[in-house]
């Protein structure tokens, strides 16, 4: 009896310890959602608090109010009326269909990819993950190139091209199967990686001294020229994206690099520790949202 009780205690103890690694991240995620929901509860009514420089007429006419957590999967199209209408028209004939087909062809013709990622839908949902053996975060982009290298093949460009197309195929499969973002933090090392990613996201950097959060948390919903800034929650769920500005499909790493350049910094490498941990943090913030990728953005 004592042995059974001891075993049960160990089990309960280890379970609570395991759950604890997610605790901070979960707290952050819920607080971020609560904040966004508050910002978009009634933009015109709260204009002096969240949108002090936006004319009231614009807030009344251009913003959708009462946005809830699941709506954020659409990014800024969740609350920006005009852009949402344009987006809905764009996805009638999405520009990324050829990329999905090409990604499927690449996947089916490459033995290495089939071996490494036997289920394309699950491949999307598995990453980013914390590799307990290597003690590092592995993103989907890094996993694809690691797979190619381990099979004696040349790695692909991590920002666009074949890799983005394969990711588009994986994402489309995940979307079709109704999979949701489900990032786990299984250990202390993983929690440390998450915390570094979190710190990177909120730290001001570059000659403009901006942080990711300046635009996507404190600046969420505000307009920069004709575009509306998107929330951090939901961002990773729709990648890879076909950006009209690029006129092609690109990976999440490419988009983040663009942000870093806009902040006045030389972007870190797509497979660098900083980039991986930033994606780990960002992905956790989208936990529970369905995969929407590939998608189209301005």
Q: Where do contacts with another protein occur on this chain (CB under 8 A)?
A: 27-28, 30-32, 34-35, 38, 49-50, 198-199, 202-207, 209, 211, 213-214, 217-218, 261, 264-266, 268, 272, 274
Q: What angle do CA 32, 35, 41 make, to 5 degrees?
A: 140
Measured from the CB of residue 113, what is the shortest distance to another protein in angstroms?
30
Token reading at 204: 């001001």
Measured from the CB of residue 44, what is the shortest distance to another protein in angstroms?
17
Measured from the CB of residue 199, what is the shortest distance to another protein in angstroms?
6
Comparison of 110 and 211: residue with beta carbon closer to another protein: 211
Coil, helix or strand for 41?
Answer: coil
Comparison of 21 and 170: residue with beta carbon closer to another protein: 21
Strands (E), 142-252: 223-224, 227-228, 241-243, 248-250
Q: What angle do CA 179, 181, 185 make, to 5 degrees?
A: 135
Comparison of 15 and 202: residue with beta carbon closer to another protein: 202
Measured from the CB of residue 31, what is the shortest distance to another protein in angstroms?
2
Comparison of 90 and 210: residue with beta carbon closer to another protein: 210
Active site residue 259: yes
Token reading at 64: 């959708």
CA–CA separation, 87 and 78 (whole Å): 10
- Give yes or no for a contact between 251 and 196, defined as CB atoms under 8 angstroms apart: no
Active-site pick, 7, 147, 215, 259 = 259
- Provide the annotated active-site residues: 259
């Amino acid at each position: 009896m004592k042995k059974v009780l001891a075993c049960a205690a160990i089990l309960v103890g280890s379970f609570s310890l395991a759950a604890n690694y997610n605790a901070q991240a979960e707290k952050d995620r819920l607080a971020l959602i609560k904040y966004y929901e508050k910002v978009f509860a009634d933009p015109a009514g709260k204009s002096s608090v969240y949108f002090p420089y936006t004319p009231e007429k614009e807030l009344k006419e251009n913003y959708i109010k009462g946005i809830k957590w699941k709506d954020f999967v659409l990014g800024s199209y969740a609350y920006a009326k005009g852009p949402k209408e344009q987006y809905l028209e764009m996805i009638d004939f999405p520009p990324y269909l050829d990329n999905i087909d090409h990604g499927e062809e690449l996947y089916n013709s490459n033995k290495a990819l089939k071996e490494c990622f036997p289920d394309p839908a699950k491949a999307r949902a598995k990453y980013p993950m914390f590799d307990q053996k290597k003690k590092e975060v592995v993103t989907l982009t890094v996993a694809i190139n690691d797979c190619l290298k381990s099979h004696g093949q040349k790695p692909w460009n991590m920002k666009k091209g074949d890799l983005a197309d394969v990711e588009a195929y994986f994402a489309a499969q995940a979307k079709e199967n109704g999979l949701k973002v489900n990032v786990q933090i299984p250990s202390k090392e993983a929690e440390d990686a998450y915390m570094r990613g979190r710190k990177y996201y909120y730290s001001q950097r570059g000659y403009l001294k901006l942080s990711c959060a300046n635009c996507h948390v404190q600046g969420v919903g505000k307009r920069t020229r004709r575009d509306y800034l998107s929330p951090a929650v939901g961002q990773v769920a729709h990648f890879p994206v076909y950006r009209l500005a690029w006129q092609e499909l690109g990976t999440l790493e490419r988009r983040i690099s663009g942000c870093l350049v806009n902040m006045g910094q030389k972007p870190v490498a797509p497979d660098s520790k900083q980039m991986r941990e930033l994606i780990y943090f960002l992905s956790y913030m989208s936990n529970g949202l369905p995969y929407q990728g590939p998608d189209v953005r301005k």
